[in-house]
Amino acid sequence: MSRLRLKKQNAQAESFKKLLYRTNEQPLLFLVCAFQIICMALLTFKTADGKADIFSLRMLFLLPFGTYAALKLVSRMWPIDRALFLLTAFLCSLSVITLRAVFTTTSKAETQALYLPIGFAAMLIGICVSRTFMSCSGFLRAAMLPCLALMALPLAFTTASAARSWVKLGTFQFQPSELLKPATALILASEFSRPAKNVKAWLPGALFGAALCAVLLVQRDLGALFLFFILTIAMFTAGTGHRKTALCVILLAGILSAVFVTYADRIQGFSYLSARMAIWRDPWNTDIESARQIRQGLISIASGGLFGSGLGLSSARKVAVVGSDYIFAAVSEEFGMIFALGVIAVYFVILLRGRMTALSCRNRFQALLAFGCAFELTSQMLLIVMGNLHIIPLTGVTLPFVSEGGSSLAGSMLLMGMLLGVGSINAQDEYDDLMRVSAGRRAKT
């Protein structure tokens, strides 16, 4: 083979590579950076005392630069789905912007900005993990027990009054359930993609999911419980194809939870549930003081109107826990309904691209993993947004990437990283195929 020919072949390979990852990311990159710059510029000059806000000014440069650098770094290493990456970057910067706009006196936005590099690291880890585990493995089965132990860890730190889902180590605290979401997706993908078709093959995975749910029930973290439950059911259905079994389990769980909620009064520690239901039925009943949060949330969402109050001009502060549970209300009020619908659409795109990635996978494990990640992110968004909009009772889960908090961001980033990793394997497979085809064609001629 002559040198010239080799060079030509390399050039061809390069053009193939470009063709393969069809995402033309330039316009999207431009849009995301423009959004970051405009918002941060506004926040820099919109201050109560008339002085420029140094943090926002810094972020005005750091956010677009960070986005650009991170994109270049990752796409140099792996052929990832860059659109998905940029949408994640958009949601993360939306988090910092909204927190800065709403909390003018506290340093929540600063803390969140510090979490962003950690989140990016988590995403890199996620990519590496999904590129390491290529199919179902005994290691992942062995990881079940440590995972369960980690989930149960907060019980060791519990005092009677405190929340039961946090682990505290000195000043550092985290929520294991957030970090266990990606681990669970990985383990379940492995369990439900075993080649054998009998009950023995899928039972450990199902038991693992059930055990997680049981631990969360003891911790009274019902939002997380629901998320883990539907994640297990969804991955079980997709992996094993036993749709009837899945349907029966859903029905059974529905009946059980209905009974549970009805008799919640008499169950030790769950009496707050009936209060929650009363709030959900009639949040405008002013006799119920604890319904104040949802009332203020709805008022806040409606206050935004179509185009929002403008950055930093809202009164979203009045909603309790606006930084995490009610960040969607803050986004709606600051940016307006059209923008907030756009944010919902971003998650929709994440779901669609996750589905696309899963469908073009070469093996079941990877397909399940990609699907599980996309499912988890979207279903969590639905749970909290529907709660904020008073469509379903409110549960305290976070809006992925947007809510404040390090554990939540790291967990979501790990999920996104695994999804991107599977996508990169797909891209390489596709590339290899194309090379093979073109080599074959060359051999013929």
Partner 1 sequence: MKQTRSGIRLISLILAFGVLITAVTYAGSIYVSGRKWLNNEQNTRISAARKTTLQGTIYDSAGTALAESYTAGERHYISDDAARLALAHTIGDQYGQSAGGAESRFATTLLGMTDLTRTELTISAITGSDPVGYDIVLTVNAELCKYAASLFPKGKTGALVLINYKTGAILAKVSLPAFDPANIEASVADTAYYDRVLQYRYAPGSTFKTVTLISALQNLPGVENETFDCEGTWQFADYTLKCAGSQAHGEMNLVRAFAESCNITFARLAYRMGAEKLKATAESFGFNRTFSFDDVRLNPSYCLNGASTAGEVLQAGFGQGTTQATPLHMAMISGAIANGGEMMEPKIIREIRRHQSGAISTMQSEVFLRAADEDTCLKAAKYMYEAVRSGTGTRAKISGYTDGYVCGKTGSAESTNDKSAETDAWYTGFIYGDEAHPYAIAVVIEKGGSGGQTAAPIAAAVMKKAMELSVY
Q: By CB under 8 A, what part of segment 265-324 binds partner 1? A: 284, 286, 292, 295-296, 298-299, 301-303, 305-307, 315, 318
Q: What Å distances lie between residue 309 and 37, 300, 313, CA to CA?
A: 19, 10, 6
Q: Dmax of the chain from CA atoms?
A: 86
Which of 73-81, 87-95, 362-370, 400-408 is the region at the interface with partner 1 (rule: CB under 8 A)? 362-370
Q: By CB under 8 A, what part of segment 180-199 binds partner 1? A: 193
250 touches partner 1 by CB under 8 A: no
Which of 76-84, 172-180, 236-244, 261-269 is the region at the interface with partner 1 (rule: CB under 8 A)? 236-244
395 touches partner 1 by CB under 8 A: no
CB of 17: closest distance to partner 1 in angstroms?
26
Nearer to partner 1 by C-beta: 182 or 283? 283
Q: What is the DSSP string of 121-159?
A: HHHHHHHHHHHH--S--HHHHHTHHHHHHHHHHHHHT--
What angle separates helix 3-20 from helix 406-444, to the nearest 10 degrees? 140
Q: Which of 155, 237, 245 is nearest to 188 (CA)?
A: 237
**Could you identify the residue written with the tokens 């006799």?**
287
Q: By CB under 8 A, what part of segment 19-78 binds partner 1? A: none
CB of 156: closest distance to partner 1 in angstroms?
35
Nearer to partner 1 by C-beta: 110 or 429? 429
115 touches partner 1 by CB under 8 A: no
Let me know: does 407 contact 174? Beta carbons within 8 Å.
yes
- Secondary structure class of 433 (helix, strand, coil): helix
Integer Cα distance of 414 and 115 in angstroms: 13
134 touches partner 1 by CB under 8 A: no
Q: What is the DSSP string of 323-361?
A: TTTTHHHHHHHHH-HHHHHHHHHHHHHHHHHHHHHHHT-
- Which two structure tokens, joined as six digits, stand for 25? 């990311």
Nearer to partner 1 by C-beta: 58 or 318? 318
Which of 96-104, 146-154, 357-365, 424-432 is the region at the interface with partner 1 (rule: CB under 8 A)? 357-365
Let me know: does 307 contact 338? Beta carbons within 8 Å.
yes
CB of 262: closest distance to partner 1 in angstroms?
23
Q: Which of 43, 383, 40 is nearest to 225 (CA)?
A: 383
172 touches partner 1 by CB under 8 A: no
CB of 68: closest distance to partner 1 in angstroms?
30
In the list 364, 428, 431, 434, the residue contacting partner 1 (rule: CB under 8 A) is: 364
Which of 85-93, 97-105, 217-225, 385-393 is the region at the interface with partner 1 (rule: CB under 8 A)? 385-393
Integer Cα distance of 20 and 285 in angstroms: 57
112 touches partner 1 by CB under 8 A: no
Contacts with partner 1 by CB under 8 A lie at 193, 234, 237-239, 241, 243, 284, 286, 292, 295-296, 298-299, 301-303, 305-307, 315, 318, 337, 340-341, 344-345, 347-348, 351-352, 355, 358-359, 363-364, 367-368, 371, 374-375, 378-379, 382, 385-386, 389-391
